[in-house]
């Protein structure tokens, strides 16, 4: 999942890379990228409006070789699930992706 805050080292990226290494699969850091600022989700009232607003900030890069792939999104925190839902919808629209799975490190209460 693209980071919302720029850091020298992204903890969630480090987790994703290590998980991919342990599983013996590639880690594509730039398959899904943010192309603009994330709107203030707290100011949007419905879940569907949140997802729609977020869909406009993600782009899928055509990085995968030919074939069908299963993708695991690794994110640092699960709050409302709106950003993960938008990311999942964007990835499912990419012709080379068959299934999208999600793993988060923490969940907000």
* Local confidence band at 14 (pLDDT 50, 70, 90 cut-offs): very high
- What tens digit of pLDDT does each residue of 24-34 get? 999 999 999 98
| Cβ density class 57-92: b for 16+ within 10 Å, e for less | bbebeeebeeeebebebbbbeeeebbbbbbbbebbe
Q: To the nearest whole percent, how much of the chain has pLDDT over 90?
A: 51
For 106, the enclosing helix (H) or strand (E) is strand 97-107
> Would you state the pLDDT for residue 3?
57
Write the DSSP symbol of residue 105. E
Using the predicted structure, report yes or no on whether residue 69 has a pLDDT greater than 90.
yes
pTM (predicted TM-score): 0.80
> Would you state the pLDDT for residue 88?
94
SS (H, E, C) 28-89: CCCCEEECCCCCCHHHCCCHHHHHHHHHCCEEECCCCCCCCEEEEEEEEEECCCHHHHHHHH
> Would you state the pLDDT for residue 22?
96
Angle between helices 82-92 and 47-55 (to 10 degrees): 50
């Amino acid at each position: 999942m693209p980071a919302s805050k720029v850091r020298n080292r992204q903890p969630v990226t480090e987790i994703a890379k290590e998980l991919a290494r342990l599983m013996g699969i590639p880690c594509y850091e730039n398959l899904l990228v943010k192309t603009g600022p994330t709107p203030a989700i707290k100011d949007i009232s419905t879940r569907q409006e949140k997802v729609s607003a977020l869909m406009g900030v993600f782009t899928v890069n055509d990085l995968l070789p030919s074939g069908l792939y299963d993708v695991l999104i690794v994110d640092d925190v699960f709050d409302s699930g709106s950003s993960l839902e938008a990311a999942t919808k964007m990835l499912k629209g990419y012709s080379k992706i068959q299934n999208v799975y999600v793993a988060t490190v923490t969940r907000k209460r």
